[in-house]
A and B are shown apart, each in its own frame.
Chain A
């Protein structure tokens, strides 16, 4: 019950979706390509709250022939599958509070890229979009760390427990039974209120009776929709054969574990076409990670204020490399899964990895480290934009390119009205 007591409950989850939409199937993801052009149909955005240390993220050289920097080392095997962008940002204000400029553009807390995409293509799947978060941090503080915002600027709640996502995707027997009960008893509830409404109408003037026509029509429409849903609610869901741990890794120090599980479930969600749009927020506060059995020198947030101290930088980069290690397993799975035509799930999915924080040590939101993987793009290694020129490209220009690649007819995003189609195609 995500919206009642403000905490994510592990109680029964109603099976989402209507008959119009396919139920999750675990066979190879379908081929929905039209004849004209092969284009990706999924979008995934991953944002790190504390950012990426630029010197370990950006290759020194531009172009394809670069030496893989420390943070990207887990991705070395996939260097042809992604492009790193340096120099781009949204010209947004500085500070943690403006973090949401990652997907929102120049105005933090406004309509985010993933939601624009979801509003355009999300209705073709059971879940128009999914919002996830790994690693406890500022949770509960107002919006400073949300990632996805609706058209009205409402921050979307993020799922923090892998078990909840799992059950949304692959309803358990108990959840299915509960859904069936909801639909069956729900229909009888509608029957009763129709009777109630008829009795009520008798004493009303003509204008009121006419107005209540809307009510009758709506009740009947929902009744029909419930009947349709009842026909499919018990279609068994294939077993994804994925074993979750018997606890939810939601304590801050288990962030990497949560991340890995979420990536696995994200692959399953895309593969089963349960959704086309996912955002994943990588949070971070005081947690002290142990990496390779060694507790790091300070908490994650403390390390992000490294002040160029080499010991702190070493540990910060170790954390960021761990993130990338989890991420590389995601990319690997996407690349390995292929549909009937031999197109990989990675080619079918645009993956945007970035942050709203350019340099956490100074709380600067300039020059946001950004990486685009998959999407069937002809990847370009490291693209450095020249920000000294007049009218230099904005991160929003890249977003326009991504949206166009997904088939959306858009020409601008936030403060950007160009695109990077010449760089990335």
Chain B
């Protein structure tokens, strides 16, 4: 299970060598704009870097020997930003080489920081194609198709910088274009379907043998279909013809021939029997409830002779009729079944005696299993005894103890077995409702089905109402005036509009209908670059682009009418408006798209479905879901309650079930007697300063940073650097095989990974990576606390020295350290949010702006929601 993770990491980082190779070219051919490197940094570079990174050696294909730098070339800035990071994080020079002094390091940092700030301007998002989920959400909203789903084979998106909504990563390819073209067709087909040929009226007949029998809902006896019970479950009480499915929505003439069935041995039924006739979509689920269907008619059946009722009803495409006996005495709920049993048993001793004989054979005290007595099988065995002239009736009484025990058993057994048998008593002796035949004639005339009406409403939403006397062209123009700005998320000028109108006109001129013209326009709109891309252009976002960026950031979908209206009035950009709108759209529930999508990608919750915890860990799929929910509820609450940033690390609350809190987190929880309640997610108060709670203690995080079977300290360490501290290590050099510790072995992972710190080349990064992994080693692959390494069976040593020199003993102290250095975490999450929102990795200038916001947020004791609001107000957010 390590594979997906490994795959993902390689996808996330483009090949560093290829990247650097291009940088080298850029450096070699630096031109007139180049500035001379001042003497102080030049001396430091000469002293510590150039020995390896020069024009001929180019270790890692990096050349730092040039005396001149063209800062205007973005590739040069990328390179020197990497130098800045390698210096600040002390990754370079390697451990076995001479190290710069603190002052030298600071001096280099200051020079690079200044130069990079001076030459980096805010902005630079490439056009962002709508990604899968944005595309789906946008279509849903644009055409009022809330259930629209992309086809299963629809191409996926490439993840870049940890997210699937980055401009650079969102590529358009021929297969994707073809998929867009197909989806556009499907939408157009839904809105403007081709006309069906005119139907012919016909007569369809169903006899009892052509009706559906499900469980004991109905049976066929003496050439009639008999119904005996009423229930809301269609499969337990209804019947319908198996071979009639109407192809046209219209008015039909329905004739039903029905009668009462009564017998001397059964109960009487003096009232008219009410036969309900419903409209049922033939393809509806067998688990449907009758309330989901449309009642067409109630027929009173009063005679034991067949009588035919005739009525006209509207039936829609794909439907048939369904029968239910409304006032049947028998139902399928246990107390009523028990009462039914008792009633019959009091009137009919043979009935009771036979049941007792079947259920308690040879007078046993213990009943047999009732499951095999289902349906007619059960009834046949009872019936055999009932009709046995030698059936012993001595002592048989509905008041006897054995009868009472039996009635109790009936109640307990519920609806599934005994009731199915009891139906057959009614089928055999009555009262039952008999259906002799069904005839459906039509369509007598065509009608609009609810689907047709809904389609008309959707059409009108796109076109606006058609005024009397409006020409096709004027109507199509009105449609474009309404729909193009919505689809393109900004006003459309008349030349562009005319180009679209010409498409329809040309189509009509070549003999196509009005609807076909609209069909084609819809397809055109949906493959236009103005629909498929956002963030086109440069510089400050205008009101429309700002509304679009804000909306996709917080909701994953296009701007709503309020935002569109504000943008149209050019009222979107004042700070107070932007803040008000951000607050209005701010997600606060775990089910909100932003919460699921952002935590799915930032915290790698999207990896959880691929991880199958080892059965030894006793971690069920329900636990996996619960663990993910915990993260989502937690994150949503941080946002909703504007919690301080330190609560991400050391909160006084979490969301999980009592069962999970007890069994996985080993919290002192008292379970209730109600096992359903124990499994329900709820807010749970935590003591601060302990191991459970926060991003460095949550089960789902520990799961996402392991592989389901064992922990991998390096993987977890890298994850913490990348997603909690925002200082991802560079990729391991290509020529060195990764050390994959075998935690199953006799040695501990620590012993195995010691190799990393012995080798100077490995040590530069691993002295930064490994401590974070080892500090969390007490969390097993599902986040349960452990004190010994499995297999090696040695106590876990989680004491580490962090890159800044702090000594930390395990997870709790690591959390304390993270709280003390909270700005580093805040900067990390702020950069992730900004990357997700703007579709680009923040550059040096943007990081500086974010850093100011982070600092200000902490100093004025603001919370997470405030931070998000300040990020939205920033220049970085407001720039293309």
Contact B538 A208 (CB under 8 A): yes
Those of B158-178 within 8 Å (CB) of chain A: 167, 171-174, 176-178
Report the count of interface residues on A (CB-CB < 8 A).
82
Contact A8 B283 (CB under 8 A): yes
Contacts of B692 in A (CB 8 A): none
Q: Report how far A306 CA is from B281 CA in the complex, Å.
A: 32
Q: Which of A44-52, A135-143, A350-358, A403-411 contacts B (4 or more CB under 8 A)?
A: A135-143
Interface membership of chain B positions 358-371, coded 1 if the CB is closer than 8 angstroms to chain A and 0 otherwise = 00000000000101
Contact A185 B194 (CB under 8 A): no
User: Given the interface contacts A185-B507, A200-B536, does A295 sit within 8 Å of B219 by beta carbon?
Assistant: yes
Contacts of A14 in B (CB 8 A): 182, 185
User: Given the interface contacts A4-B148, A207-B126, A298-B376, does A189 sit within 8 Å of B524 by beta carbon?
Assistant: yes
Interface membership of chain A positions 191-207, coded 1 if the CB is closer than 8 angstroms to chain B and 0 otherwise = 01101110110011101
Contact B529 A3 (CB under 8 A): no
Contact B286 A208 (CB under 8 A): no
Q: Which of B235-243, B307-315, B645-653, B851-859 contacts A (4 or more CB under 8 A)?
A: B235-243
Contact B376 A307 (CB under 8 A): no
Contacts of A305 in B (CB 8 A): 371-372, 374
A-B Cβ contacts below 8 A, count: 234
Say yes or no: is A38 at the interface (Cβ < 8 Å to chain B): no
Those of A137-160 within 8 Å (CB) of chain B: 137-141, 150, 153-154, 156-157, 160
Q: Report how far A207 CA is from B128 CA in the complex, Å.
A: 12
Contact B524 A4 (CB under 8 A): no
Contact A192 B500 (CB under 8 A): yes
Say yes or no: is B377 at the interface (Cβ < 8 Å to chain A): yes
Contact A287 B538 (CB under 8 A): no
CB distance from A389 to the nearest CB of B (A): 21
Interface residue from B190, B243, B247, B285 paired with A140 (Cβ < 8 Å):
B285
Residue of A nearest to B151 (CB): A3
Interface membership of chain B positions 44-67, coded 1 if the CB is closer than 8 angstroms to chain A and 0 otherwise = 000000000000000000000000
User: Given the interface contacts A222-B181, A299-B215, does A208 sit within 8 Å of B127 by beta carbon?
Assistant: yes
Contact A288 B185 (CB under 8 A): no
Contacts of A221 in B (CB 8 A): 174, 177
CB distance from B282 to the nearest CB of A (A): 6
Say yes or no: is A11 at the interface (Cβ < 8 Å to chain B): yes
Contact A248 B420 (CB under 8 A): no
Residue of B nearest to A308 (CB): B372
Say yes or no: is A254 at the interface (Cβ < 8 Å to chain B): yes
Q: Report how far A138 CA is from B376 CA in the complex, Å.
A: 23
Q: Report how far A139 CA is from B286 CA in the complex, Å.
A: 8
Contact B536 A286 (CB under 8 A): no
Contact B537 A150 (CB under 8 A): no
Contact A136 B372 (CB under 8 A): no
CB distance from B120 to the nearest CB of A (A): 15
Contacts of B569 in A (CB 8 A): none
Say yes or no: is B287 at the interface (Cβ < 8 Å to chain A): yes
User: Given the interface contacts A251-B282, A302-B420, does A1 sit within 8 Å of B374 by beta carbon?
Assistant: no
Contact B530 A200 (CB under 8 A): yes
Contact B243 A4 (CB under 8 A): no
Contacts of B500 in A (CB 8 A): 192, 196
Residue of A nearest to B245 (CB): A247
Contact A218 B503 (CB under 8 A): no
User: Given the interface contacts A3-B149, A295-B213, does A307 sit within 8 Å of B371 by beta carbon?
Assistant: yes
Those of B192-226 within 8 Å (CB) of chain A: 193-194, 209, 212-217, 219-220
Contacts of A218 in B (CB 8 A): 172-174, 176-177
Those of A202-227 within 8 Å (CB) of chain B: 203-205, 207-208, 211-212, 214-215, 217-219, 221-222, 225
Contact A214 B173 (CB under 8 A): yes
Say yes or no: is B189 at the interface (Cβ < 8 Å to chain A): yes
Residue of A nearest to B213 (CB): A288
Say yes or no: is B186 at the interface (Cβ < 8 Å to chain A): yes
Contacts of A112 in B (CB 8 A): none
Contact B499 A192 (CB under 8 A): yes
CB distance from A114 to the nearest CB of B (A): 14
CB distance from A136 to the nearest CB of B (A): 5
Q: Report how far A193 CA is from B484 CA in the complex, Å.
A: 13
CB distance from B492 to the nearest CB of A (A): 10
Contacts of B215 in A (CB 8 A): 286, 288, 298-299, 302
User: Given the interface contacts A215-B529, A218-B173, does A156 sit within 8 Å of B152 by beta carbon?
Assistant: yes
Contacts of A153 in B (CB 8 A): 609
Interface membership of chain B positions 231-257, coded 1 if the CB is closer than 8 angstroms to chain A and 0 otherwise = 000011000101111010000000000
Residue of A nearest to B523 (CB): A189
Q: Report how far A247 CA is from B283 CA in the complex, Å.
A: 12
CB distance from A253 to the nearest CB of B (A): 5
Q: Report how far A64 CA is from B539 CA in the complex, Å.
A: 79
Q: Report how far A251 CA is from B145 CA in the complex, Å.
A: 28
Contact A136 B286 (CB under 8 A): yes
Contacts of B372 in A (CB 8 A): 305-309, 312
Q: Report how far A156 CA is from B283 CA in the complex, Å.
A: 18
Contact A185 B523 (CB under 8 A): yes
Say yes or no: is B150 at the interface (Cβ < 8 Å to chain A): yes
Contact B503 A189 (CB under 8 A): yes
Residue of B nearest to A301 (CB): B215
Say yes or no: is B520 at the interface (Cβ < 8 Å to chain A): yes
> Which of B150, B371, B380 has the most A CB atoms < 10 Å from its CB?
B371
Say yes or no: is B664 at the interface (Cβ < 8 Å to chain A): no
Contacts of A10 in B (CB 8 A): 247
Contact B212 A252 (CB under 8 A): yes
Contacts of B380 in A (CB 8 A): 297, 311
Say yes or no: is A107 at the interface (Cβ < 8 Å to chain B): yes
Contact A197 B420 (CB under 8 A): no
Say yes or no: is A392 at the interface (Cβ < 8 Å to chain B): no
Q: Report how far A4 CA is from B182 CA in the complex, Å.
A: 12
Say yes or no: is A66 at the interface (Cβ < 8 Å to chain B): no
User: Given the interface contacts A140-B287, A200-B529, A214-B171, does A208 sit within 8 Å of B536 by beta carbon?
Assistant: yes
Interface residue from A11, A190, A200, A251 paired with B527 (Cβ < 8 Å):
A190
Contacts of A11 in B (CB 8 A): 189, 193
Contacts of B148 in A (CB 8 A): 3-4
Contacts of A252 in B (CB 8 A): 212, 214, 286
Q: Report how far A269 CA is from B287 CA in the complex, Å.
A: 32
Those of B266-295 within 8 Å (CB) of chain A: 281-283, 285-287
Those of B600-649 within 8 Å (CB) of chain A: 609, 612
Q: Report how far A7 CA is from B451 CA in the complex, Å.
A: 13
Contact B377 A311 (CB under 8 A): yes
Closest 3 CB pairs of A and B: A298-B375, A309-B372, A221-B174
Given contacts A12-B194, A208-B127, 19 further A-B contacts (CB under 8 A): A6-B149, A7-B318, A141-B285, A185-B519, A190-B181, A196-B530, A199-B499, A214-B171, A215-B533, A225-B174, A250-B283, A253-B213, A285-B214, A295-B220, A302-B416, A302-B417, A307-B369, A307-B371, A307-B372
18 contacts between A and B (CB under 8 A): A1-B186, A4-B145, A4-B147, A10-B247, A14-B185, A107-B612, A136-B285, A138-B287, A205-B538, A207-B124, A207-B538, A214-B171, A286-B214, A286-B217, A288-B215, A295-B219, A299-B214, A299-B374
Which A residues have a C-beta under 8 Å from some C-beta of B? 1-8, 10-12, 14, 107, 136-141, 150, 153-154, 156-157, 160, 178, 182, 185-186, 188-190, 192-193, 195-197, 199-200, 203-205, 207-208, 211-212, 214-215, 217-219, 221-222, 225, 245, 247-254, 285-288, 290, 295, 297-299, 302-303, 305-309, 311-312, 315
